[in-house]
Structure 1
Amino acid sequence: MGTFLLPNGPERNFWLLGSTPGRVTSKPVLRGKNADLWSKETLVTIQSLSAIEHILRHRPERILSLSCQPVTKPSPRLEEILFLAKELGLSIGSHTKKEPFSEPLIAHIKPFEYALWSDWVESLKDDPKALVLALDHLQDPQNLGALCRTAEALGVRGVLIPKDRSAAITPGAYHASVGAVETIPILQVTNLNEALRKLKEEQFWIVGAALGEGSKPLKETPRFDKIALVLGTELEGLKPSTLSTCDWLTEIPLKGKVQSLNVSAAGAILMFEFSRV
């Protein structure tokens, strides 16, 4: 049945696009113009309730279909998301617990759309102050997603990632970012150092996070009007070629016995500090 019994109200039916009310389908129901162009290979499947809700509220046009496990008493959170989807005219199919989905609600969305460099740079020209984030071949999609979540929350203007040998926007990144990857410009660049040099031409200072000789404590780092903050991997840090591109190197003083931070934790501290300018 496609019927969901709400805890404090009458029985409500969730309509499926192109079907009769109260019926469900075990297959994804694609919606919108050119929906037939999307295949299972190109669809991105999101299983995070938080990510799905974020996309529903801010980028609903990106969702092709939703699928929910049949329930008689949905949680208040699930109930709210289902009503939001219905109000937006989205189709809701169904799936069973036997299928490889860990969450009660899943969303099939269009392939991720990276921002275009020319459009993005143009959007920064009239902004006297701006902070962008550049990631030097980060490998973990979870860290990528967590950094994008923090960046979006703090008003960072964009995230740069290399096209090759780097984590990309995967379902794992969607989950870790709670959908924030959809509401912040993310750019895939062929050559990160070349992209950073182009940002210098736009009056950005390139500030790299690095430990060791030549690096200054965070409190001694000038709060430049336009900053491109560059983070490296936890194991290797910034690559030598990236270090040479930076105008300034900074580090977070650690006072405890632990002498390193996860890159997403370090990035959160640095983005917060530089976003206060």
Structure 2
Amino acid sequence: MAGNSQRRNRRTSNKKGATVGSGGQRRRGLEGKGPTPPASARKGHKKNRVANAQAKQAAARRPAPRRGGPKGPNELVVGRNSVVEALREGVPAKTLYVQQYLDNDERVREALQLATDKGLNLMEAPRPELDRMTNGLNHQGLVLSVPPYEYAHPEDLSAAAYDNGEDPLIVALDGITDPRNLGAVVRSVSAFGGHGVVVPERRAAGMTASAWKTSAGTAARTPVARATNMTRMLESYQKEGLVVVGLAADGDVELHELEALGGPVVIVVGSEGKGLSRLVGETCDFRVRIPMPGGAESLNAGVAAGVVLYEAARRRA
């Protein structure tokens, strides 16, 4: 009969479910789950897919990191004279490669001493290895490895100036392809209290070892920024309240007449041959010429920038 069976675990009741307790599961199941999330937050909903797509597009438009963006390969300075000059001028090298069994002379000894004083890595390598590293260049037994330059973001330059309670004084280079000109401009910006230099990301000189040498070490304290689009960058500066001044041989205003140099300003210098590009020239608030009674047609980009920076520093003083 039912209820009298001696078999273990035999069900003796028609009641379903746990007989002792549910461990609170039933009670939690009756609790509310909060407000219904919006459609854009519900996985699989059409509005959720649209929101995700918009977020991806916004991330793609977001500016590159301010510092330490993608870096290229290390630059190599080769040859005894070049290596010694780079070390003298404080180029931020990491490793000095020295050929095995190299004959010592005055330049080799100075290079080794400078590298030791700066705490550089000293690596001895056979000549075939140095030939391979330099693609067969005449390295004379010395090769200096320089890491890629860490560029600033253009907005960092004006922000740093305002943080110090100063009006930004920035130089932008349009079409300058000689790194020595870039180094000279960096040196002038440092000398006259400027806040940095902006260069285009493409088809322009970058901070190579040559630019470092020409800057005479001032690149260590004067930031250089890269702009993806120079015209848009200048327009962004204008929205911040900076006046954009372009140097041009046929400019409408002479340098000594420009009052704007006493305030927040971006000085745009074009190449010696072609000058300012069309779009950059149209973006400038003023096109300024430097009087040259001697009759020269133009000035080197580094010299022209130095002249205008001096005038800006004089007005600010």
Contact 1:206 1:230 in 2 (8 A): yes
Q: Which residue pairs with 2:96 in the alignment?
A: 66
Q: Give the TM-score normalised by structure 1.
A: 0.70
**Structure 1 runs, 4 residues or longer, greater than 4 Å off:** 68-73, 94-99, 101-106
Q: What is the distance in 1 between the residues matched to 2:96 and 2:187?
A: 23
Q: What is the distance in 1 between the residues matched to 2:93 and 2:255?
A: 41
**1:89 equivalent in alignment to 2:124:** no
Q: What is the distance in 2 between the residues matched to 1:104 and 1:221?
A: 53
Q: What is the distance in 1 between the residues matched to 2:170 and 2:141?
A: 36
- Residue identity in the other structure for 2:211: A
Q: Which has the higher helix share?
A: 2
- Residues 72, 84 of structure 1: alpha-carbon distance in 2 compared, 3 angstrom cutoff: closer
**1:52 equivalent in alignment to 2:87:** yes
- Residues 170, 88 of structure 1: alpha-carbon distance in 2 compared, 3 angstrom cutoff: closer
**1:156 equivalent in alignment to 2:194:** yes
- Residue identity in the other structure for 2:90: I
Partner of 1:63: helix, strand, or coil?
A: coil
**1:109 equivalent in alignment to 2:138:** no
Query: How far does residue 94 in structure 1 lie from its aligned partner after superposition?
Result: 5.4
**1:43 equivalent in alignment to 2:82:** no
Q: What is the distance in 2 between the residues matched to 1:177 and 1:82?
A: 23
Q: Which residue pairs with 1:266 in the alignment?
A: 304
Query: How far does residue 105 in structure 1 lie from its aligned partner after superposition?
Result: 5.7
Q: What is the distance in 1 between the residues matched to 2:168 and 2:98?
A: 41
Query: Is there any run of 5+ residues in structure 2 with no aligned partner, and where?
Result: 1-71
Q: What is the distance in 2 between the residues matched to 1:118 and 1:252?
A: 28
Give CA-to-partner distance per residue, 1:60-102, whole Å, 9 cap, x none.
xx43212457565536x964x6445324432234577987356
Partner of 2:207: helix, strand, or coil?
A: coil
**1:230 equivalent in alignment to 2:268:** yes
- Residues 229, 87 of structure 1: alpha-carbon distance in 2 compared, 3 angstrom cutoff: same
Query: How far does residue 103 in structure 1 lie from its aligned partner after superposition?
Result: 7.6
Query: How far does residue 217 in structure 1 lie from its aligned partner after superposition?
Result: 1.4
**1:100 equivalent in alignment to 2:124:** no
Give CA-to-partner distance per residue, 1:228-253, whole Å, 9 cap, x none.
10011112211222122212221111
Contact 1:148 1:181 in 2 (8 A): yes
Point out the structure with max Rg over C-alpha: 2
- Residue identity in the other structure for 1:55: G
Q: What is the distance in 1 between the residues matched to 2:311 and 2:109?
A: 36
Report the number of matched residues: 230
Contact 2:157 2:170 in 1 (8 A): no
Contact 1:232 1:238 in 2 (8 A): yes
Q: What is the distance in 1 between the residues matched to 2:142 and 2:307?
A: 33
Percent of aligned positions that are identical: 29
Q: What is the distance in 1 between the residues matched to 2:140 and 2:212?
A: 14
Q: Which residue pairs with 2:211 in the alignment?
A: 173
Query: Is there any run of 5+ residues in structure 1 with no aligned partner, and where?
Result: 1-40, 57-61
Q: What is the distance in 1 between the residues matched to 2:255 and 2:221?
A: 28
Q: What is the distance in 2 between the residues matched to 1:168 and 1:204?
A: 24
Q: Give the TM-score normalised by structure 2.
A: 0.62
Tell me: higher relative CO, structure 1 or 2? Use CA pairs within 8 A at least 6 residues apart: 1
Greater shift in the superposed pair: 231-240 or 117-126: 117-126
- Residues 103, 263 of structure 1: alpha-carbon distance in 2 compared, 3 angstrom cutoff: farther
- Residue identity in the other structure for 2:120: L
